[in-house]
Amino acid sequence: MSKKFLSKILCAALCGTMLFTTACGGNGIGGGGTATLDFLYGGTQEILELYTSLVNEYNNTQGKEDRIKVMGMPTPGGSVNDKLTNVLPSANGPDVVIGTDEYFKGHTKNMMDLSNSFSSELIGNLYEKQEIRYHYNRENITANEEDTLYGLPSVNDPTVLYYNKDALQAAGVICISVDAENIAAFNAGTFTDYNGKKKSDYNLTIDVPAKGYFRSNNNYVFNGSDYSGSSWGKPTNGTVLVFNDRISCSWDEIEDLGMLLTKSRNSSSTTDYGYYTEWWFNYGWSVGGDC
């Protein structure tokens, strides 16, 4: 995250927006008309040092031009979620937070609506559709593009996933390969996908949205509080399941697919487990140097 990128984020935060921008309203105006902003971040010692260095560099350079002073609130280890649970409901909580995808939905009642708050230039620095995972409707428990935006990714690095097509098909998932801009033509029956097939070749009787994974009925979205996965339910009879390898999956979609392919959740699954990931640094040595 560059100083200039942080500058745009923090300026937006003072207007009521952010990475996760909270509703605490703790920022104020200091001497000389300089605004102060409380910024809570967590992680390993290395991550804390990285963000502290970034905050100091910003305050000593770009922050003077922006007339913003960032007050860093480093939180060690994995205690950020517990910290947020305690401080976000108060009037003295942080203005800006770096949290994790896993927990942010549970905190949205104390976050600000960021919809239409960021410039196209700022969003343009992200990979396409990367911010969609931070849209959420707390009442309907949905995560669609038109739902409220509560944050932006603090790290612009998507995860590349490999998938088992045979296992997906054995679970009743139709696997298509269509870019988002061609979905309308595919639904109209005029577009041939990267598998060399048209909609009719898949015997699809519904229109498919531009999503990585789609259920036509009883759609699953994590409710923001149950981390055990017990709220997940199998697709009901007659539900059409479609996986599109040309569009990034949201975390909800990945979790849904993972549950579908986990035998303890779905006894008819041909695989024992449905999702496995490794952090990038496990492969760091393959590119040489001390990553």
What is d(CA 106, CA 224) in angstroms, rounded to the nearest whole number?
4
- Quote the CA–CA distance of 20 and 97 in Å, as a whole number: 5
What does the DSSP 8-state code read for residue 31? G
Q: How many other CB atoms sit within 10 Å of the CB of residue 16?
A: 14
**Under 8 Å between Cβ of 253 and 221:** no
Rounded CA gap, 107 and 147, in Å?
Answer: 16
Question: What is the b/e burial string over 255-288, where b = at least 16 CB atoms within 10 angstroms of the residue's CB?
Answer: bbbbbbbbeebbeebebeebeeeeeeeeeeeeee
Q: Are 193 and 164 in contact (CB under 8 A)?
A: no
> Is the CB of residue 210 less than 8 Å from the CB of residue 245?
no
3-class DSSP state of 43: strand
**Does residue 198 register a pLDDT over 80?**
yes
Residue 226: per-residue pLDDT: 72
Look at residue 15 in the predicted model and tell me its pLDDT.
37
Question: pLDDT by residue (tens digit) across 16-72?
Answer: 333 555 555 545 555 567 888 899 888 788 888 888 998 999 899 988 988 889 999
For the chain, domains (ranges, CATH) are 3-149 (3.40.190), 165-260 (no CATH)
Quote the mean pLDDT of the chain. Answer: 80
Give residue-wise pLDDT tens across range 134-160: 888 888 888 888 899 888 877 655 566
pLDDT at 117: 79
Burial (CB count within 10 angstroms: exposed 0-12, middle 13-18, buried 19+), residue 75: buried
Q: What is the pLDDT of residue 159?
A: 63
Rounded to the nearest 5 degrees, what angle is found at the Cα of 107, between the Cα atoms of 101 and 147?
75
Segment 75-91 mean pLDDT: 80
- Which is more confidently placed, 227 or 87? 87
> Of the candidates 145, 152, 214, which has an alpha carbon nearest to the alpha carbon of residue 178?
214
pLDDT at residue 291, rounded to an integer: 34
Which residues 6+ apart lie within 8 Å of 164 measured at CB?
261, 271
Q: Which long-range contacts (CB under 8 A, 24 or more apart) does 199-203 make?
A: 202/174, 202/176
* 191, two tokens: 């577009």
Cα first-last separation, the chain = 17
pLDDT at residue 278 is higher than 80: no
